[in-house]
Amino acid sequence: MAMTMTQKILAAHCGEKEVKAGQFINCDLDMVLGNDITTPVAIKEFEKMGIDKVFDTKKVSIVPDHFTPNKDIAAAEQCLCVRKFAHSLDIENYFEVGEMGIEHVLLPEKGLVIAGDLIIGADSHTCTYGALGAFSTGIGSTDMAAGMATGKAWFKVPSAIKFNLIGKFKKEVSGKDLILHIIGMIGVDGALYQSMEFAGEGIATLTMDDRFTIANMAIEAGAKNGIFPVDDKTLEYIKVHSDRTPVVYEADSDAEYEKVYDIDLGTLDYTVACPHLPDNTKLASELSDIVIDQSVIGSCTNGRITDLEAAAKLFEGRKVKKGVRTIIFPGTQKVYLDAMEKGYLKTFVEAGCVVSAPTCGPCLGGHMGILAAGERAISTTNRNFVGRMGHVDSEVYLASPAVAAASAITGRITTPEELEQL
């Protein structure tokens, strides 16, 4: 039976020659992930099982990243709970302040997830690792507990949607613009419990950071996962970051897809998701009358070094418009250090930005950039729900780093080309 890329990975991890959409299976796990919000709940469930060890100390990763460095006593207590658990059970991949990062930037950087892996994480954006040709998906804290204990998780095999990419981006258009375009096209439930599988010759023109961004936001279309084929760029990334050997799966040429979309990358332009859903998309050029109070550049979606580079190019020799709070969040300590060595941090500070430690912070309205009633932000994060970044009467516009930077300089939603013309 012909299978998609996702179905082949699931079949290999449940010990079957083939699986089909709708089938329930029990799979072996290569990684179980949690953070400072979801892990304390998982720990309580784990302890109820009466188990005193995880299935593999190398295959559990815990990254306190949402409210760290701790924003208050409650956050400190959560992290203390996680810290004690990780140390007492000798969990090797525990990363905290000083060596931490935003989990979905950190794990690929550390080489902990590679092509062919099956990964679950108690965070919805675990689907990020599909950029590497892995099956990765978000689960609840109870499933995280069971995964830590047994090394297994159950799944309903998803059907798939295929996105055939051709051509290449123009100007500074990026992976963020592509995924916002797709979500705007199919809706926030357009891929509900399906695998978003990307294919086509256009993939070769995408950077790995573009792919991470696109896979990261598959969940915003309701998808079970997003996944890219493994090519030379993927293998080179894995070679640099990991000493493990990737397992490469390819979709069968006659694999079945619920829908197939053909997208010419060269036709895309800067895209923005307006309040209060990621599928409420418009071209950035249509929103030049939208005045902003804050610009946020970073997160698990766009906190990598090429994201900061795109912003720094626009901030060079310019100033943030007075009154616009502009916050930069490198995805990890390594990204922070790379940005420092390349001079980006100096550029940001001289432009009037503030540079934060790696943390999820403002993305979920946690800390380091909360919005008050009536305030409006442009952000490179992944969600713009009501109250997502603060007060329920605030607004969040989702955009690429280039658009977020240009908008910070003018104080209103602006494209890089428009900025150059001012």
The string of pLDDT tens digits covering residues 332-357 is: 999 999 999 999 999 999 999 999 99
Q: How many structural domains are present in the chain?
A: 2
Categorize the per-residue pLDDT at 260 as very low, low, confident or very high, splitting at 50, 70 and 90.
Answer: very high
Range of the domain at 142: 5-263
- Same domain as 245, residue 284: no
pLDDT higher than threshold 90 for residue 363:
no
pTM over 0.75: yes
Q: What is the pLDDT of residue 68?
A: 86
Quote the CA–CA distance of 321 and 408 in Å, as a whole number: 6
- Maximum Cα interatomic distance, the chain, rounded to a whole number of Å: 65
Query: How big is the CA angle at 415 (ends 349 and 421), to the nearest 5 degrees?
Result: 90
Across the range 260-288, mean pLDDT stands at 97
Q: Is residue 223 part of a domain?
A: yes
- Same domain as 221, residue 149: yes
- Same domain as 72, residue 16: yes
- Same domain as 329, residue 369: yes
DSSP per position, 72-119? SHHHHHHHHHHHHHHHHTT-SEE--TTT-B-HHHHHHHTT-S-TT-EE
The string of pLDDT tens digits covering residues 207-248 is: 999 999 999 999 999 999 999 999 999 999 999 999 999 999
* Cβ(162)–Cβ(191) below 8 Å: no
Q: Is residue 305 part of a domain?
A: yes
- Same domain as 227, residue 79: yes
- Same domain as 311, residue 403: yes
* CATH at residue 257: 3.30.499.10
- Same domain as 280, residue 239: no
Helices (H) and strands (E) in the chain, counts: 14, 18
Q: Work out the percent of the chain whose per-residue pLDDT is above 90.
A: 95
Peptide bond into 104 cis (omega under 30): no
Output the CA–CA distances (angstroms, integers) from residue 126 to 166, 189, 245, 252, 286, in the order listed.
Answer: 26, 18, 21, 25, 32
The string of pLDDT tens digits covering residues 14-62 is: 999 999 999 999 999 999 999 999 999 999 999 999 999 999 999 999 9
Contacts of residue 421, Cβ cutoff 8 Å, sequence gap at least 6: none
Q: Is residue 358 part of a domain?
A: yes
